[in-house]
Structure 1
Amino acid sequence: MIAETVCSAVAVAGLGIAAVTAYRKRFLSAARLAAYSLVPLGLVMTGAVEWVVDTAFSPTAWAGFGVLGGAWLLFMTTRAIERRSGGTRKERKAAEAARREAVAPAASAPSLGGTARPAQTAAPQQPKKGAAAGGEDFSDIEAILKKHGI
């Protein structure tokens, strides 16, 4: 009874504020305030407030919420363990068998063919200062890049 009275008073106060806001030519804000203030009134009229109050003070309802929370906790724990362990035993055996079949027998040994890499020189060849590669001089671009630390 008290909750319904409080919700009705909040709705009337909100509609009063919406009327003042509309009087100040702020119609969009007034409409939004009216919508918000009609929600508690609608909840009172549908009986939702009475249901919430009865549920909030019912030990059976709180026990039910506890049971639902425990079920959710068990469900999430088992999912986390399943993900960490890689699934059930049957799933792991099937995955391992598929992994063994997918690998070619000779693929595990690296190929050390007869071609060897040529030895790299200690210092790469540097172009002469006077002659640039391709006829272009990039010294000014290099200076800008060095200036910016690139």
Structure 2
Amino acid sequence: MTEFEEYQKHIQYTHNAFCRIVIRHASIDAARKLYSKWKREISLEYLSEEKFMPFAATDEYFAKPPSSEEYPFTVCGQTVMLSNPDLAAALSSLPETEQEIIFLYFFEHLTHEEIGKRYGRTRSTAGRHIYLDLRRLREEMEVLAHEQASPL
């Protein structure tokens, strides 16, 4: 081994040791910050032990009674019974492929990779479609809730 190669090897070892020390000290600093944050936090459990006071009041007169109705939703040749009418209506308004993707992920418990293979997509593309479908479903449910809240 030449003198230049030995010098390069020495520089590499020195750099690696320096990096390990910096990372170690950064992790120690992060742990100290978390510990000091946890020391300053106050738990609200003592409120429930001494005297229970509700955080908000509700008027029972306007509250909707809990519904025991179930709303059927058919996708992929299977029927799923949903207890939320807004969710059932929002799912029904989505295109069929989006309904199938949501069904496969949440009811059949398929992975992103398996869903991607089924539709000829990659794992990450299938995950992105699930995310976009959920966002579209949430927006549709907000529209339905707004329409129900505002009388015409």
Q: Structures share a fold, TM > 0.5? A: no
Tell which structure's C-alpha radius of gyration is larger: 1
Tell me: higher relative CO, structure 1 or 2? Use CA pairs within 8 A at least 6 residues apart: 1
* TM-score normalised by the chain length of structure 1: 0.28
Larger proportion of strand: 2
* TM-score normalised by the chain length of structure 2: 0.28
